[in-house]
Amino acid sequence: MANPAHGESDHEVFGLRLRAGLALPELWPARGAGVPDVIVGIGEVPELLPGGVIVDPGLQVLPDDVLLSAPAGRYRITGGRRITIAPRPAAPEPDVRLFLLGTALGALCHQRPGLPLHAAAVLTLTGAVAFAGPTGAGKSTLAAQLAARGALVLADDLCVADTSGFGAPRVRPGLSRIKLWRGSPALDPARASTLQPIGESIDKFSLPVDGPVPQEGAPLRRIYVLAPGGGAGSVRRLSGAEAAQAVIDSIYRWPLAIAMGRAAPRFAQAAMLARAVEIVEIGHPHGPADPGRLADHLTRTLDL
């Protein structure tokens, strides 16, 4: 839904209606008309956030105010409702979007009620399944491999679990693309024409997600915690405190939540999620030597 006078367009991400004053081809277009939950635009952003906790050299954090300084510019995220961007001179647009739809969007999600997870998620016939793990564990590669086998991808890298309802936690669609490092086993040469470089500052490519993806999402049924050092395909069901800790370890940029003073509610959400959802640790020796065995196994067992 574009506004010709201001160049604004509405998108949907994680169940939120986002109105942006810049092009965001990585997001799904919004359906119909509506009042935005989040506004994104270009504007002035200070270099310092007085009183802010310095999480790392590029992040200053207050409970409802985050300042991100990145190679592409500065981003201010306020109240879970607004992201203001001050791009650096001559910063390529893809680089500006890269940090907007990564750390800045993750910070905004931490300012809102849902639980942001460092995970990818796919849709099955019985609900959503998420794949959590540290950077380099193979979350995006696995999501792309499952997509090539017919799965619908709901989220990549940042996945938000809505724990506010009375039923099972829900996962709603995130970005409409999967980010893959050069050399990923999921970079299928047959789809080379659909790949796009993400930006000039990172050696990653963008793979479009096949749609249509249901914007209402699906109940979250299981979280696979990828263990890159485990035996190939080894499976271990987690429970109790161990399951809750696995969810906590999977929270997207956990230091952000701590600096915002939101550790306690996030602990409570993680414990609730560990009780409501199956938490399974699965061995995943991610790399060229194991290009698709886990994806083949999951395709047979997930009712895609």
Q: Does residue 235 register a pLDDT over 70? A: yes
Domain boundaries, the chain: 2-110, 115-301
* 55-59, 194-198, 255-259, range with the lowest pLDDT: 194-198
Q: Does residue 106 register a pLDDT over 70? A: yes
CATH number of 115-301: 3.40.50.300
**pLDDT average, residue stretch 23-51:** 95
pLDDT one-digit tens code per residue, 45-95: 999 999 999 999 899 999 999 999 999 999 999 999 999 999 999 999 999
pLDDT one-digit tens code per residue, 153-189: 999 999 999 988 777 899 999 999 988 866 676 666 5
Q: Does residue 230 register a pLDDT over 60? A: no
Provide DSSP, the chain.
-EETTTTEEEEEETTEEEEESS--TTSEEPPS----SEEEEE----S--TT-EEEETTEEEETTEEEEEETTEEEEEETTTEEEEEEPTT--HHHHHHHIIIIIHHHHHHTSSSEEEEEEEEEETTEEEEEE-STTSSHHHHHHHHHHTTPEEEESSEEEEE--SSSS-EE----SEEEEETT-TT--GGGGGG-EE--SSS-EEEEEPPSPPPTT-EEEEEEEEEETTSPTT-EEEE-HHHHHHHHHHTBTTHHHHHHTT-HHHHHHHHHHHHHHSEEEEEE---STTSSSHHHHHHHHHTT-
Q: Does residue 130 register a pLDDT over 80? A: yes
**pLDDT average, residue stretch 254-283:** 95
pTM, 2 dp: 0.90
If one compares 156 and 207, the residue with the highest pLDDT of the two is 156
Q: Does residue 279 register a pLDDT over 50? A: yes
If one compares 57 and 35, the residue with the highest pLDDT of the two is 35
**What pLDDT, on the 0 to 100 scale, is given for residue 242?**
97
